[in-house]
Chains A and B, each alone.
Chain A
Amino acid sequence: MNSVASKRLFQEYKHLTTDPPDGITAGPVNEDDLFVWEAMIQGPEGTPYEGGVFPAELKFPKDYPLMPPTMKFLGDIWHPNVYPNGVVCISILHPPGDDPNHYEQASERWSPIQSVEKILISVMSMIAEPNDESPANVDAARMWRERRQEFEKRVRADVRRSLGL
């Protein structure tokens, strides 16, 4: 029943293993269940997240790739587009079709021609360049907008702490 989703996820896993993008590692937590992945994303260089490693959990629906997975960071990440509970808010993870609020183009949203790799790369660039328009973490967004130095200091401190330093 889920063979389409499983096959596709397996293919993507294989591709991400043999030809991983820079700073990204991803794969199923347990191959017996291809619908739960763990990914690690390196903090982009030239940003306060540089030097950090951010693990995240991806959960795929049974009708993947028709519908997008959800993504949740497993550690602290202070970012305007990440909810305080770790859930990532980014257009590529939104179901296909037009945004009822006309914020996002349909092309930015999920569609079956996207992939886990594209999600992770998008999230990486989202980390580097927060989208101020639809903040998921209002406090972080406000700090980013109004007190950039404090924001960066906090992010750097979180990164060090996450590495046990």
Chain B
Amino acid sequence: MAETVPALQTSINLPQIIAVALVGFFAIRWYLNKPAGGGTGGGPPGGQDRSRRGGQAVDLTKVEQVAAMFPQLDRRTIAWDLQSNGGNVSATTERVLGGRGLDNPPPSFQPSLPAPGTQAPAVGVSGGAGSKAGGGASAQQDLIARYGLQARIGGKGKEAVPSEEQLRRQAWSSDKAARAEGLRKRREEMVLEARRRMQERDAGA
């Protein structure tokens, strides 16, 4: 029995103490850095993870940069792509130029972007106001903005209006991307169609 006491004492030796101290030091450092570094997003971490956390801080100057090159793109879509690739402007640019187009952001992604036309503040605005994750029912943007349809309601650019039957009956594609695209189209068409009808009614009244 007398053996156990020294055994216990020697089980906590110097290397272990140093190791614990180091781990503790890094843990504290990581913890203290987290709130401050949250908005600036050093390096490209897992984009999905970040977006799911609702950390919607997007570098507005980068968004503006891309928007200046491609004015037809919705700023929210740009912000979404930038967020998922870790703020890489050239990657987003190449993606657009490559004809692949950008993914549609999920509805829960509502970054605090300045209204088009107003200049982004020069100083990096951290997405403080972007905490409206989940889109509460207050201070709503309209559906046109939500689905990025501004470019399609100009009145010009007569688009072929798909027939109702065509819209209603969708073939089930075996391709995931095609399905997602079909769903997006039907959604957008529903909004545009509703707007068209409302305008027709206005004109008729």
Q: Which of B106, B137, B190 makes the CB contact (< 8 A) with A25?
A: B190
- Tell me whether B143 and A164 are in contact (CB under 8 A): yes
> Max chain B CB contacts within 10 Å: which of A19, A31, A52, A163?
A163
The closest CB in chain B to the CB of A17 belongs to: B170
Report how far A73 CA is from B168 CA in the complex, Å. Answer: 23
Point out the residues of chain B lying under 8 angstroms from A148, CB to CB. Answer: none
B186 proximal to A (CB < 8 A): yes
Q: Given the interface contacts A25-B187, A84-B137, A165-B198, does A55 sit within 8 Å of B182 by beta carbon?
A: no
Point out the residues of chain B lying under 8 angstroms from A75, CB to CB. Answer: 137, 140, 142-143, 146
The closest CB in chain B to the CB of A18 belongs to: B172
Q: Given the interface contacts A31-B180, A160-B198, A163-B194, does A14 sit within 8 Å of B172 by beta carbon?
A: yes
Report how far A19 CA is from B107 CA in the complex, Å. Answer: 24
Point out the residues of chain B lying under 8 angstroms from A107, CB to CB. Answer: none
Report how far A40 CA is from B182 CA in the complex, Å. Answer: 14
Q: Which of A25, A57, A74 makes the CB contact (< 8 A) with B183?
A: A25
- Tell me whether B107 and A38 are in contact (CB under 8 A): yes
Report how far A77 CA is from B135 CA in the complex, Å. Answer: 13
Main DSSP-derived SS at the A contact region: mixed
- Tell me whether B143 and A55 are in contact (CB under 8 A): yes
Report how far A45 CA is from B172 CA in the complex, Å. Answer: 29
- Tell me whether A29 and B106 are in contact (CB under 8 A): yes
Q: Given the interface contacts A18-B170, A25-B183, A29-B106, does A163 sit within 8 Å of B137 by beta carbon?
A: no
Segment 159-205 of B: residues with Cβ below 8 Å from A: 168-172, 176, 179-180, 182-183, 186-187, 190-191, 194-195, 197-199, 201-202
Q: Given the interface contacts A17-B170, A76-B137, does A162 sit within 8 Å of B183 by beta carbon?
A: no
- Tell me whether B143 and A53 are in contact (CB under 8 A): yes
B91 proximal to A (CB < 8 A): no
B125 proximal to A (CB < 8 A): no
A86 proximal to B (CB < 8 A): yes
Q: How many residues of B contact A (CB 8 A)?
A: 34
Main DSSP-derived SS at the B contact region: helix
B153 proximal to A (CB < 8 A): yes
Q: Given the interface contacts A163-B142, A165-B198, does A29 sit within 8 Å of B107 by beta carbon?
A: yes
A2 proximal to B (CB < 8 A): no
Report how far A159 CA is from B194 CA in the complex, Å. Answer: 10
B145 proximal to A (CB < 8 A): yes
Instruction: Tell me the B residues contacting A by CB distance below 8 Å.
Output: 106-108, 135-137, 140, 142-146, 153, 168-172, 176, 179-180, 182-183, 186-187, 190-191, 194-195, 197-199, 201-202
Cβ contacts A to B, 25 pairs, < 8 Å: A17-B170, A17-B183, A18-B170, A20-B168, A27-B179, A29-B106, A31-B180, A51-B198, A53-B143, A55-B107, A57-B107, A74-B135, A74-B146, A75-B137, A75-B143, A75-B146, A77-B137, A84-B137, A85-B136, A86-B135, A86-B136, A161-B142, A163-B194, A164-B143, A165-B198
